[in-house]
Structure 1
Amino acid sequence: MRRMTRFAAVICPLMLAALPLGAQEPVAAEGGEEITKTHALAVFGEPAMPADFERLSYVNPDAPKGGEISIAVGGGFDSYNPYTVKGRPVALASVMNERIMQKVHDESETFYCVLCETVEFPASRDWAIFNLRPEAKFSDGTPLTAEDVLFTYETLRDKGLSSFRAVIAQSVAGAEVLDDHRIRFDFVEGYPRRDVIQQTGNLPVFSKADFEAKGRELSDSSPDPFIGSGPYMFGSADMGRRVIWKRNPDYWGKDLPINRGRYNFDSIRIEYFADSDAAFEGFKAGEFTVRRENSAEKWATGYNFPNFENGYVVKAALENEDKALAQGFFFNMRREKFQDVRVREALGLVFNFEWANTTLFHNQYSRTESFWENSYLKAEGKPSEGELALLEPVAGDLPEGILTEDAVVPPEGGARQLDRGNLRRAGQLLDAAGWTVGSDGQRRNADGEVLSVEFLEDSPTFDKIINPYVENLRALGVTATLNRVDDAEFENRRYEFDYDVIVANALTYMTADDGLYQTFGSKGADDVFNAAGLANPAIDALIDAGVAAETEEEMITATHALDRALRALHIWVPNWFKAEKTIAYYDQYAYPDPLPPLLDADLYFPFYFDFWWYDAEKGEALRKAGVLR
């Protein structure tokens, strides 16, 4: 998995929607108003599990507790605060901050109460009350109360990233503590009601006492780990090199039905390496135990080292039904040279995926075409009648052909690195955009400025992919370069929008939600979520339609229209995907069979941390063999 915007688990509002039909308990309130009280919220249906469920369907409820699991991360870290753009936070920095409600791996659009016992609301959904579990407490033993929830909401509202502040301000009018374990949220009049309860339920919960005692500021880097109420807490660290998160033996929620068979490892160790190649060497030597393999070349040819050949390491290709990540080369449209759609389309034409797949990827990938690739939300063919109804009023802000042509797909490249047909087409587009070739072979505009494109990258793994792309762009007359920097410089430049092109992932989910404003909307144009800096009124209107959709059919139609419009704008050069999850691990772990269908339901707490477990007998055999360091 490529670079994920590190704040999204906290500040990207959730996308879940309409109320469950049969899993609700009607309660009479004052004045005779009927109130719904439920343990879970599902989209366009009802939760699969009743209020008295005993466990999640896909876990092993008898999984043993113990052992360690370890992974590698590239670069380094200098902060324990994942909620600020200052510094580079340690991996899993928010692991201790539980949320009020939680998503699961076998229901794509259902959230269940965790910190809350129930949530109640009227038919209008003008407000919601979360009834918190009185036994909930932080890892320091202090109780978690409604005051902590209120403090968290107000802190994120006032000091979170600007795009999140804008989104939450337009949806949540305010919050009020009713008693120690009840908090009410009121929602802004006229704002679509479909997602507001789940959006609020996705809030993490900070310890107000911890913030006040340590003088924490959410906007500052922190040398001190937060405390939280979750199953894991800070263990130890070697700053910039290693961190260990340990399971809290006194975790308040360990006996909840939703937690049975989960959070089984005593510790999660994360080792930092300079890059992916160095990490792979460390894995081969037994310095860490689980590797999610994202290199097609290594998966095809690299697993010939002794620990694998001796059967100590297992390779597994795990099937799943997750939507593909929307990864690509994103143009920084905050820069004038990328504001013409013809320029962006031209630059995308000379990336030859077919050649790269054959030459570099061992034909293991498929080309990403959509921001909702590998899902029913992907736009296909010509727009439907429903899509046209949404697109026609905003067509003036979108490229010509949006109403009549098939959804944009990347061009097919040939067997050679440089496809001559695509090169000619790209040249015609740049000529039309005013970037013409001079006597020196370089493209310039009417002001004599050279068309230059710098790829900013901090991973040497991408060198072999970007360098041929750079060569193709140079053949087009573009002054293209690859600038590989260290991770600290990359992060600083990314947050300051000091780049031409970066590899990024646009966060999209299986329901249109408020987070789309941050990823693609004008409200997020000056925030790190929106890698392209996209600010287009048509896109804003289509996001509005998706967020306001009251039925699943309406939501799908709006997402198709949005996907179609985004692709027509050529804000990215889409990368590639593989439907299965390729993972290698030292043979001391076990997991349920079958696995749940949505392995990446939580992108920020990997599934192998969530419901795998340690096999002590196998682990002891590896240690006796001297395999692990």
Structure 2
Amino acid sequence: MTRTAPRNDATAAARINSGGRRLGLLVLMSLALAAGQLRAEEETIVSHGYSFYGDLTYPADFPHFDFVNPDAPKGGEISFARLGTFDSMNPYTRRGRAPVLSTVMYESLLGEGVGTSGAADTYGEGYCLLCERLEYPADKSWVIFYMRPEARFSDGTPVTAHDVLFSHNLLLEQGLPSYAAAVKKRIPKAEVIDDYTIKFYFADGISRRSLIDQVGGVPVWSKKWYEETGARLDEPRLEISPGSGPYMLDTFEVNRRVVYKRNPDYWGWDLPNNKGRYNFDSIRVEYFSDDTAAFEAFKAGEYTFRGESDPVKWVQSYDFPKVRNGAVKKEAIPDGTPPEPTGIVFNLQRETLKDKRVREALALAYNFEWTNESLQYGLYAQRYSFTQGSRLEAQGAPEGAEREFLLSLGDLVPEEMLNEEPRTAHSSNAERLQDRRNLRRALKLLDEAGWTVDDKGRRVKDGKPMELTFLFNATFPPTLVAVIDNYIHNLRAMGIDVTYEKVDSSQYTVRQRDKDFDLIYSNQYRSFLGTGTGLHQQYGSEDAIISLFNPASLQSELVDTIIDASLNASSREEEDMTLRALDRALRYEFFMIPLWYNPDTWVAYYDQYDYPDPLPTYALGHLDFWWFDAARNEELKAAGALR
């Protein structure tokens, strides 16, 4: 990273009127101060990558990322299964359902990868990909990207600054409304300086977090293709625009399979970012209607890599002959990232669920201990934090700087947040599904909230029964189905009328987007290890009603204020402190029932793949930096394990 001094107009002093020595001296002093201020404002940072605090792990001349094998061979195929259906190849539309990896063809200025983004051993760092360098002032009020003239789309046309500007504007005009609304406020102007140089301006009076990252991460599409075809970003379609990435679409059969192939003419093979990566000739995705059929297909060798999420299958079903003879490897790979905050989410737009006492009562119907022992072989741990196990997890009553910060927020912070430990998951009796102690607590909370029991044993308020709809995707694995079935059984035992709606993938997607549910099992929320404006999309109030990323429609002034403080933090230490407070506040608001997490990633694959050891902290990378062993593939075929 280098700093360059500005070009200042030193001739300004020559224009000073010489009508008095003292006045002239004062004017000269004023101009000198102004010139010094101008130099400070105009001093720019030029770099090969970006992180908010400027502390990039890799220098400008790095040969490759540390976590890859730079000599990994190219070739072969990796294939995996997906449940459900797809009817569009456009992943950016609100209508229709696109297949997995349908964004894999597209790159950004600061780099996108297959299944990972940028350097998988760092957090919050981006390295130039379509750009060769970027420039920005110390106050981060704008950024200029200098692009690589050699970059090409897969149809051979150059990737230019005009394509970048077109893509930025296309997202604002035809992308998700919540995204467009947020970006327009933060990025008022973008301009093409020349064919390979583009400048973005950022609004005054806002945090500088996630601004350069935002524009640097926008996928770049071909302006020429969109203008020639008249295609829209917000409409489903089976045609795709050319991308500039190392993979491109090869073939697809709707609802059956998609194949992506490595582009031999990819423009960026020699970049240090790409050494040791994108090693497979093809990536194949097979679609199945249910997991039983998918698992049988894996055993038969119809696809070669499987991530497992069902503990029953993991324990009971991976003893077939190919596992026993070593043709298929079964591994539990430690996961270094905080678990994603999955769980049963409450739709806070529903009047019944606005009362936290009701939500707490509904949560007490979930018995983690019984579920883990009876249905999950004791393999899981219970989650309660939004950044579990990381340095940002709130623990104990707030102390020191965090307590001072919370006190500074005045009446926004409830007394219990200041003086008590953060909310953790309740404990239950592992020996029986219905924990009587928790059931009594739940019924008391419902009574306090005005939900009494009528002569039919129903929970009623103002003469109306409590009726809830639990929306569930029919393709979810059987063990998860059993967990939700048992949870609903406990809810009904409390006198609550629960409608359990299992719908197909397409209906589920539409109703999830429209927030047509009371309860839903959701994996939309994300854990965090640093701040960013994405926190407002996930947990913020402004677009909560329409945001796809905030399924609960959480609206909390306390949460909004803490996110703003994290965005305006002046040091990493201050940022970490505010994010611990955010974890504490999100747990206080209680908009989801946290379920469980697996500290490992369970995978099974045919023994024809290798991966770097150790793996990086933030990605498994099986589609990115694993590689194919052709000799072992031939051995598997000779033994009849693969066709």
CA drift of 1:619 comes to 0.8
Q: How far apart are 1:79 and its partner, in Å?
A: 0.6
Which residue number corresponds to residue 608 of structure 1?
Answer: 622
Alignment of 1:203-602 (within 5 A): 203-392=218-407, 396=411, 401-415=416-430, 416-458=432-474, 459-461=476-478, 462-505=480-523, 506-525=525-544, 526-599=546-619
Q: Deviations over 1:519-549 (max 9, x none)?
A: 1111231121111011222221111112221
Moved more, 190-199 or 361-370: 190-199
Take 2:567 and 2:209, find their aligned partners in 1: how far apart are those partners? 8
Instruction: Tell me if the contact between 2:471 and 2:503 (Cα under 8 Å) persists in the aligned partners.
Output: no
Q: Does 1:164 align with 2:141?
A: no
Which residue does 1:181 correspond to in 2?
196
In structure 2, distance between residues paired with 1:287 and 1:188: 52
AA in 2 matched with 1:49: Y
2:407–2:413 CA contact under 8 A, matched in 1: no
Determine which of 70, 79, 83 is the counterpart of 2:88. 79
> 2:458, 2:465 within 8 Å by CA — same for their partners in 1?
no
User: Which residue of 2 is the match for residue 4 of structure 1?
Assistant: none
Match of 2:6 in 1: 29
Cα distance 1:87–1:151, how it changes in 2: closer, same or farther (>3 A)? Answer: same
Q: Give the 3-state SS of the residue equivalent to 2:417 in structure 1.
A: coil
- State the Cα distance separating 1:378 from its structure 2 match: 1.3
**Partner amino acid for 1:81?**
N
Q: Deviations over 1:85-105 (max 9, x none)?
A: 110011111101111113211
Distance across 2 between alignment mates of 1:158 and 1:375: 38
Q: Partners in 1 of 2:608 and 2:76 — Cα distance?
A: 9
TM-score w.r.t. the length of structure 1 is 0.93
Residue number in structure 1 paired with 2:122: 107
1:277 is paired with a residue of what secondary structure?
helix
- Paired residues of 1:398 and 1:568 also in contact (CA < 8 A): no
State whether residues 320 and 596 of structure 1, in contact with CA within 8 Å, keep that contact through their aligned partners in structure 2. no
Partner of 2:63: 54
Give how far 1:162 is off.
1.5
Q: Secondary structure at the match of 1:117?
A: strand
Q: Which runs of 5+ in 2 are unaligned?
A: 9-38, 112-117
Q: Take 1:84 and 1:386, find their aligned partners in 2: how far apart are those partners?
A: 44
Q: What SS is found at the alignment partner of 2:369? A: helix
Preserved contact between residue 314 and residue 585 of structure 1 (Cα < 8 Å): yes
Counterpart of 1:55 in 2: which secondary structure?
A: coil
Secondary structure at the counterpart of residue 416 of structure 2: coil
Secondary structure at 2:585 match in 1:
helix
**Mean Cα deviation higher: 274-283 or 54-63:** 274-283
Q: Secondary structure at the match of 1:488?
A: helix
Distance 1:270 1:196 in 2: 34
Q: Aligned to 2:605, what secondary structure does the other structure show?
A: strand
* Secondary structure class of the residue paired with 2:59: coil
Paired residue total: 600
Secondary structure of 1:540's counterpart equals helix
Structure-2 separation of matches of 1:270 and 1:514: 33
Equivalent residue number for residue 18 of structure 1: none
* Whole-Å separation in 1 of the counterparts to 2:502 and 2:412: 35
Offset from partner CA, 1:344-378 (integer Å, 9 cap, x none): 11111110111111111111111111111121111
SS at 2:424's partner residue?
Answer: coil
* Partner Cα separation in structure 1 for residue 463 and residue 217 of structure 2: 50
The Cα offsets for residues 103-146 of structure 1, whole Å up to 9 and x where unpaired, read as 21111221111111111011111110011111001011000000
Q: Per the alignment, in what secondary structure is the counterpart of residue 474 of structure 1?
A: helix
- How many Å separate the matches in 2 of 1:75 and 1:382? 45
C-alpha distance in 1 between matches for 2:58 and 2:254: 42
Sequence identity, in percent?
A: 44
Match of 1:20 in 2: none
Question: 5+ residue gaps in structure 1?
Answer: 1-23, 601-606
Task: Give 1:25 shift.
Answer: 0.7
